[in-house]
Amino acid sequence: MKKLKERWGVQSNFQLAIIFIVFAITGSASAMASKPVCIWLEITKDDFGFFFTPIRLLLIFPLYQVLLVGIGFLFGQFPFFWQFEKKLLRQMGLGFLFKEK
């Protein structure tokens, strides 16, 4: 835990626990939210067959990113999760989305 706290710049075990809770809630929430989004977009297993699961996973990814920052904000950890998102998106080649001054 000590290495993880140093790597993430976390000060206390309590803050680390909050971060883990946010990750857990976000994962569950994004999986649950993908079902109504698929229904809204009329993406069904009957219509897409084998491709339904990959399509749903592709939908979960952006939902997860948005929810992670939002739920992190609700738990008072916005700065941590905002930096986490920017780092992740830069690693994916989407760093152009964030213009640093």
Tell me whether residue 5 is in a domain. no
Query: Buried (b) or exposed (e) across 73-100, using 16+ Cβ within 10 A?
Result: eebebeebbeebbeeeeeeeeeeeeeee
Q: In which element (H, E) is residue 66 found? A: helix 52-74
Tell me whether residue 35 is in a domain. yes
**pLDDT tens digits in sequence order for the chain, 101 residues long:** 788 888 888 888 999 999 999 999 999 999 898 889 888 988 888 888 889 989 888 888 889 999 999 999 999 999 999 999 888 888 888 777 776 65
Q: How many residues appear in the chain?
A: 101
The torsion angles phi and psi of 41, rounded to 5 degrees, stand at -85, 0
> Into how many domains does the chain fold?
1
Tell me whether residue 8 is in a domain. no
